Structure 1
């Protein structure tokens, strides 16, 4: 039971901590609405499920067998996050914002799959809670479901709260899109440095 509570606390902290997924949800919620952000939120959830599947099959083997392969995967993920930042800066002055042009279900999936935070979660934290016995599959499915549900709830709550004040924030949409772009680029660069 303690392990279960610890895992739930880690899922909650992960969903609430700043990262590319949360930043995309905030930006999309300001630019669009909760309704317009839902496809991306569902994409993030599906991406987490794919990440879990990959992590519990070949990804863990790669991570544990080759630090260099893990480093290359991390750099590719960071490059994608920085690319999203450049895209946000490029479209910052456009009438059609980056969220309208770029944050879709597909981008939600990619943000989850290529998020260095997701790699660390499934590569380092997840295995601590999944036993390596005959119940492995049951635990992996249960823990992945818990992570996805918590992430969905947190992202919907964040998007809903921002949706309620977005009319105030839309007056500063160009600045918000620029800040979003710079934060994404910063997250991408930080992944190369760390």
Structure 2
């Protein structure tokens, strides 16, 4: 596995996006355990895009305006829904110290949905991974699986670091109502901005 692949992957993963925003939100409102669940869900959400790239479905998204638009607008609607939920005091960003099995599962599922409903991720895998697979590679599928697994492992690790850092300052924020109000507005604005960016995205 080349150093260029690892460095390029790290730059892509560290760049703030929907998954990072969601993981930070989970950490600040529900703590470290919730942030790990959110990071795990976002990482699992990469799997369908990886499979799509391997099966050629990503190429369909790249060439079919209708398929791309359908998935894109589903993603936009979901991000706007997340923005509205963030604004509500009892919504997605409600402060809750308890993280039981049910809430953990919900955090994971939401993380999966956030990444699945992003068509740019499939196209990213279609364009990104082949660059690091030699033309004369004997087992290209196995190689793609290896690179994808490394990308996912790095994603989970980076998101967990983001989440644990946010969780470490959680107590200073959740005890201040005004700070929580502005935090909700900031996350709502972030989700809305990402939704707008996705709406303007082209294949």
Bin of the TM-score, shorter chain as denominator length: 0.7 to 0.9
Report if the CA contact (8 A) 1:27-1:180 is conserved.
Answer: yes
Higher helix share: 1
The answer for unaligned runs of 5 or more in structure 1 is: none
Alpha-carbon distance between aligned partners in 2 of 1:125 and 1:160, rounded to the nearest angstrom: 29
Report if the CA contact (8 A) 1:74-1:191 is conserved.
Answer: yes
Alpha-carbon distance between aligned partners in 1 of 2:160 and 2:84, rounded to the nearest angstrom: 26
**CA RMSD for the aligned pairs?**
2.5
The answer for unaligned runs of 5 or more in structure 2 is: 97-102
Q: Report 1:155-166 matches (<5 A).
A: 155-166=159-170
Alpha-carbon distance between aligned partners in 2 of 1:159 and 1:125, rounded to the nearest angstrom: 26
Q: Report 1:1-12 matches (<5 A).
A: 4-12=2-10
User: Which stretch of structure 1 is more off in the superposition, 16-25 or 107-116?
Assistant: 107-116
Alignment partner of 2:169: what SS?
Answer: helix
Report if the CA contact (8 A) 1:28-1:36 is conserved.
Answer: yes
Change (3 A) 1:122 1:177: same
In the other structure, the counterpart of 1:184 is 191
For normalisation by structure 2, the TM-score amounts to: 0.81
User: Which stretch of structure 1 is more off in the superposition, 168-177 or 136-145?
Assistant: 168-177
Change (3 A) 1:114 1:98: farther
Change (3 A) 1:179 1:10: same
